[in-house]
Amino acid sequence: MKFAIFGNTYQAKKAYHAEVLFNVLNKYNAEIYVYKEFYDFLTKTLELELQITETFEDEMFNADIVVSVGGDGTFLKAASHVGRKGIPILGVNTGRLGFLADVSPDEIESTIDNIYKQQYTIEERSVLQLECSGLQPSSSPYALNEIAILKRDSSSMISIHTSINGKHLITYQADGLIIATPTGSTAYSLSVGGPVIIPQTQTIALTPVAPHSLNVRPIVLCDDLEITLEVESRNHSFLIAIDGRNESLDQHNTLTIRKADYSIKVVKQTGADFFDTLQSKMLWGIDSRR
């Protein structure tokens, strides 16, 4: 089998878990392709000796399985490189929470064993697509988690004129607005009061950030709807974050957001359950009085 490896290059102590992954893959004589930035970090900064097939850059790779070693941020980076390739992604969690990257370091060997035994499942996760003429050509317009519109360089809130399929819905007076997939519902959106959404539902959540009104609440939409946003800002600009990739835009840009025509495939261990993850990662429904 062919494996393409992405990893976190900022936490040296946690990156040593990657060595376990390489040893297990070598045991199976797997073809190992490593993102060059991660390979340089492991071999030059950590001085690890690794047996791999070759390195790659950007989207110049192909594989049977992509492995992300890090937290959910690393997983999102890997997903942006996978794009339309349709390669399933396995997330090894060396970060903190780990909703997407949910394989713990001590499960690496058993998980790879199960992959070779075909004992795993694949979950399809929807992706958002942004259309905006002001985006830099190098910017990826696709988000697995969320697209966030946020105020920039000012304490004043922004006005976000929001339309659904061309019909005006609301003008948010707020610090920002988060448009999240079900996958992203447990990320930034959740932290500002958004709903938890089961990953397999075909929905999009709109969650305002610090709205200046008591009667403005998050709303969940069918994901076949088109969302159009026009932003007004006192300093005539705003910040857009696409899965954490930030860019400043002029307020005259109109944003159009819809479901992308492809999905991201996520490798899950057999028996993995979303509600178990909620309970173990976020203590969802746990009575702290007991």
- Report, as residue numbers or ranges, the catalytic residues: 72
Rounded-to-integer distance, Cα 148 and Cα 156, Å: 17
Q: Which residue has the tokens 């690890």?
A: 48
- Sorted by sequence, the CB contacts under 8 Å of residue 244 that are 6+ apart come out as 73, 76, 145
How many helices (H) does the chain have, and how many strands (E)?
A: 7, 17
DSSP 31-69: EEEEEHHHHHIIIIIS------SEEE-TT----SEEEEE
Rounded-to-integer distance, Cα 189 and Cα 217, Å: 12
Rounded-to-integer distance, Cα 175 and Cα 26, Å: 49
**Contact between residue 4 and residue 58 where contact means Cβ atoms under 8 Å apart:** no
By three-state DSSP, how is residue 128 classified? strand
Residue 102 to residues 108, 118, 282: CA-CA distances in angstroms? 11, 18, 13
By three-state DSSP, how is residue 189 classified? helix
| Ramachandran sector of residue 203 (left: φ over 0; alpha: ψ -120 to 50; beta: rest) | beta
Q: Which two tokens stand for residue 47?
A: 């001085």
